[in-house]
């Protein structure tokens, strides 16, 4: 029987643009994925190319039990076992993912320091309260000092976090006390972020660490240096400098592009340039310049996580998530795609060559052959942004007739920083997670789930996210989301309060309707998974749900993951005590023993563990089973009786 062809996407705008691409003979990531099947040996983590005696392939024969002799024979030229090879590959993914988030964090610190030193006038402290809180947390003197003096000390301390040779990362103290003890007992508390990543790269070099348990201790240290280090630094400092997000209404999908305006899409991950673009694209001189070229104005939209950053803080609309980057160009209406770092497919250049679209790289760490490079100068950010906007406007005049923008977009509410959630639940004057905890305890909310991560062209675009999230909210699990998963949810109409009535179980619907929140809360970009860690810690600290993150009725998932960053995030979630299930493919399937270490041993070590389930509904069921197991352990499994709100309870919730 011929294999049934998998649908490419569940998103209608994506399908419409794929049709247009096909009509015009333009190949996209979807076509390339069909043409090039993944190497099964590499996909299972059974290929080592860590030295020039290899590459060595040690595939596991499928469909039969391996004999001890066969297992013994599965070694590389140097004798490295399938377990070592699998663990090294996995650990290197953690190293690359942690490095990406952390290098993002470092750039943010550099801009923050320039601001504090008065070397750039375009950045400023937008959230003074957060600055002062950070100062207290980091032991920086406040006294009568100016914001910039305080900021400079914070910047220096943060910089030191990258190169710290000994001691513990400062933000480790943000975790529950019990969690810190678990890490200390296992010896996985990270020192400097750079040091942990360098050591992990060393230990995965040919002939170094050949005990997968020992190797994963370092893998965990590097992942924690990301989640409770590089990523957390990025989020906290970005909030200080660009503002802590609060609820904001916007729109999402390719339909946000406008036929009669200059369309400029900013794509990548770092917010500094995007922030400046958001400001300068509204400047009257810029708008006038656009009008002088025959456009009605400038339409700035985002793509991938840079999009999430400016959506969360300014409500800038989003054109799409990871797998839609080429399709935004296929509309023919995109005058410039401006990129910074991470998740930028080189394929956009080839697609752009079929249209007038300019691809502009802006970061010296991420250039692209054939694309125009316009450096983003942090000393003079507004001027850099203006030059880019002008280039997009100039290019508008070259737009051809071949324009088709799908008439598809969805409203969404974003901006749920952990601070905002506590204000919404507890009220402005007594911000607290107490009402959330109470509603988890009384069972209206069964538990919490972080559904995050990418799209992957090996699976139907957005389908895993949506099927999983719908199953979770139907079962009264409140979903926290970031990255491209959050965008999938928004496109499917799950990020508006009205979604509660339509898709949620009775208890969750009641809470969402009372507070006026959607059942899926957009918490930001991939680096903002650190917000989920802080929110989980706040829930623990508010009491009644155990004394560690691993006690919470909570789970995490990345049903359509593809990036190395997702593995780093997964590992810091697991090491923080979270049951974490991934979909699509599992990169250590070539070693049962190492996979068991991740799927079983880690639960004993950290209270959290990895799991793999490609069916998103079954994966959601696993998460719910885990949540129920935790409810039982807390003695609140009986509490899930239906209680209708009386007026007093509503008033209490509304704060
Ligand atoms: Fe092969 Fe060992 Fe070299 Fe890896 S390190 S490529 S297993 S010889
Ligand atoms: S952009 S890392 S595809 S979430 Fe952060 Fe999306 Fe994954 Fe990139």
pLDDT at 432: 83
Predicted confidence (pLDDT) at residue 645 exceeds the cutoff of 90: no
Distance CA(95)–CA(199), nearest Å, equals 9
Per-residue pLDDT tens digits for 556-611: 999 999 999 999 999 999 999 999 999 999 999 999 999 999 999 999 999 999 99
User: Taking the model in full, what pTM does it have?
Assistant: 0.95
Per-residue pLDDT tens digits for 436-475: 999 999 999 999 999 999 999 999 999 999 999 999 999 9
* 526 touches ligand 2 (CB under 6 Å): yes
Q: What mean pLDDT is reported for the chain?
A: 95
Q: Is residue 404 exposed (0-12), middle (13-18) or buried (19+ Cβ within 10 Å)?
A: middle
Predicted confidence (pLDDT) at residue 655 exceeds the cutoff of 50: no
Residue for token digits 């691409």? Answer: 21
Ligand 1 surroundings by CB, under 6 angstroms:
48-51, 53-56, 76-78, 80, 85, 206
Q: Which ligand is nearest to the CA of 84?
A: 1
CATH code of domain 248-396: 3.40.50.2030
* 581 touches ligand 2 (CB under 6 Å): no
Per-residue pLDDT tens digits for 366-377: 999 999 999 999
pLDDT at 4: 61
Q: What is the DSSP letter of 495?
A: S
Angle between helices 82-116 and 271-280 (to 10 degrees): 40
pLDDT at 646: 57
pLDDT at 638: 81
Q: Do domains 82-242 and 248-396 have the same CATH topology?
A: no
Distance from residue 81's CA to the centre of ligand 1 (Å): 10
Per-residue pLDDT tens digits for 349-389: 999 999 999 999 999 999 999 999 999 999 999 999 999 99
What is the mean predicted confidence (pLDDT) over 512-518? 92
Are the C-beta atoms of residues 381 and 272 closer than 8 Å to each other? Answer: yes
Predicted confidence (pLDDT) at residue 21 exceeds the cutoff of 70: yes
Distance CA(436)–CA(523), nearest Å, equals 16
Distance from residue 482's CA to the centre of ligand 2 (Å): 9
Domain spanning 82-242, CATH architecture: Up-down Bundle (1.20)
pLDDT at 652: 57
What is the mean predicted confidence (pLDDT) over 190-216? 98
| pLDDT over 90, % of the chain | 92
* 97 touches ligand 2 (CB under 6 Å): no
Distance CA(54)–CA(78), nearest Å, equals 9
pLDDT band at residue 642 using 50, 70 and 90 as cut-offs: very low
Ligand 2 atom nearest the C-alpha of 453 is: 4
Distance from residue 526's CA to the centre of ligand 2 (Å): 6
pLDDT at 424: 85
The CA-atom distances, in angstroms, between 475 and each of 179, 370, 435, 443, 622 are 28, 50, 19, 11, 12
Per-residue pLDDT tens digits for 38-63: 999 999 999 999 999 999 999 999 88
* 267 touches ligand 2 (CB under 6 Å): no
What is the mean predicted confidence (pLDDT) over 288-306? 97
Distance from residue 208's CA to the centre of ligand 1 (Å): 11
Residues β-bridged to residue 499: none
Distance CA(412)–CA(315), nearest Å, equals 10
Domain boundaries, the chain: 12-61, 82-242, 248-396, 428-634
Are the C-beta atoms of residues 281 and 298 closer than 8 Å to each other? Answer: yes
Domain spanning 428-634, CATH architecture: 3-Layer(aba) Sandwich (3.40)
Distance from residue 126's CA to the centre of ligand 2 (Å): 26
pLDDT at 337: 98
Distance CA(542)–CA(330), nearest Å, equals 49
Q: Which ligand is nearest to the CA of 567?
A: 2
Query: Sheet harboring 447-451: ordered strands across?
Result: 520-522, 477-481, 447-451, 554-558, 579-582, 610-612
Per-residue pLDDT tens digits for 216-257: 999 999 999 999 999 999 999 999 999 999 999 999 999 999
Predicted confidence (pLDDT) at residue 497 exceeds the cutoff of 80: yes
């Amino acid at each position: 029987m011929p294999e049934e062809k998998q649908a490419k996407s569940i998103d209608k705008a994506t399908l419409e643009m794929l049709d247009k691409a096909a009509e015009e003979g333009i190949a996209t990531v979807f076509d390339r994925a069909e043409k090039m099947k993944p190497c099964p040996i590499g996909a299972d983590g059974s290929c080592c190319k860590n030295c020039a005696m290899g590459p060595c392939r040690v595939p596991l024969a499928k469909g039969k039990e391996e004999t001890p002799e066969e297992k013994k024979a599965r070694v590389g030229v140097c004798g490295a076992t399938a377990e070592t090879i699998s663990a090294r590959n996995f650990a290197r993914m953690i190293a690359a993912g942690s490095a990406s988030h952390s290098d993002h964090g470092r750039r943010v610190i550099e801009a923050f320091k320039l601001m504090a030193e008065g070397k750039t006038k375009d950045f400023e402290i937008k959230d003074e309260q957060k600055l002062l809180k950070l100062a207290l947390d980091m032991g920086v003197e406040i006294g009568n000092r100016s914001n910039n003096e305080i900021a400079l000390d914070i910047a220096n301390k943060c910089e030191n976090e990258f190169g710290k040779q000994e001691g513990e990362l400062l933000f480790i103290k943000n975790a529950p006390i019990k969690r810190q003890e678990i890490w200390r007992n296992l010896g996985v508390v990270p020192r400097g972020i750079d040091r942990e990543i360098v050591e992990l790269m060393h230990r995965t070099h040919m002939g170094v660490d050949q005990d997968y348990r020992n190797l994963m201790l370092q893998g965990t240290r590097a992942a924690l240096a990301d989640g409770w280090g590089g990523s957390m630094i990025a989020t906290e400092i970005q909030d200080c400098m660009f503002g802590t997000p609060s609820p904001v209404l916007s729109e999402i999908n390719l339909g946000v592009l406008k036929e009669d305006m200059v369309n400029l899409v900013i794509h990548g991950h770092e917010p500094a340039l995007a922030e400046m673009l958001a400001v300068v694209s509204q400047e009257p001189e810029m708008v006038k310049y656009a009008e002088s070229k025959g456009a009605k104005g400038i339409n700035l939209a985002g793509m991938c996580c840079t999009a999430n950053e400016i959506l969360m803080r300014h409500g800038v609309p989003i054109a799409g998530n990871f797998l839609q980057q080429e399709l935004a160009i296929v509309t023919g209406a995109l005058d410039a795609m401006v990129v910074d770092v991470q998740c930028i497919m080189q394929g956009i250049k080839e697609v752009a060559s079929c249209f007038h679209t300019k691809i502009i790289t802006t970061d010296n760490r991420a250039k692209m052959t054939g694309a125009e490079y316009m450096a983003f100068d942090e000393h003079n950010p507004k001027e850099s942004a203006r030059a880019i906007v002008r280039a997009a406007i100039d290019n508008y005049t070259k737009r051809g007739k071949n324009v088709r923008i799908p008439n598809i977009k969805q409203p969404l509410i974003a901006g749920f920083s952990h601070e905002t959630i506590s204000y919404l639940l507890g009220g402005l004057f007594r911000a607290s997670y107490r009402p959330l905890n109470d509603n988890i305890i009384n069972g209206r909310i069964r538990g919490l789930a972080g559904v995050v991560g990418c799209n992957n062209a090996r699976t139907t675009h957005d389908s895993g996210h949506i099927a999983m999230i719908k199953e979770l909210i139907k079962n009264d699990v409140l979903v926290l989301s970031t990255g491209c998963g959050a965008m999938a949810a928004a496109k499917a109409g799950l990020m508006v309060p009205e979604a509660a009535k339509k898709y949620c179980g009775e208890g969750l619907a009641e809470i969402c309707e009372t507070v006026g929140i959607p059942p899926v809360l957009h918490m930001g970009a991939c680096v903002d998974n650190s917000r989920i860690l802080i929110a989980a810690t706040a829930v623990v600290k508010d009491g009644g749900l155990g004394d560690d993150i691993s006690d919470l009725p909570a789970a995490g998932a990345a049903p359509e993951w593809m990036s190395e960053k997702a593995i780093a995030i997964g590992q810091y979630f697991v090491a923080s005590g979270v049951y974490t299930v991934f979909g699509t493919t599992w990169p250590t399937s070539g070693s049962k023993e190492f996979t068991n270490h991740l799927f079983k041993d880690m639960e004993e070590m950290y209270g959290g563990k990895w799991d793999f389930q490609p069916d998103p509904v079954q994966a959601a069921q696993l998460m719910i089973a885990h949540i129920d197991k935790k409810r039982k352990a807390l003695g609140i499994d009986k509490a899930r009786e239906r209680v209708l709100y009386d007026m007093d309870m509503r008033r209490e919730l509304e704060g």
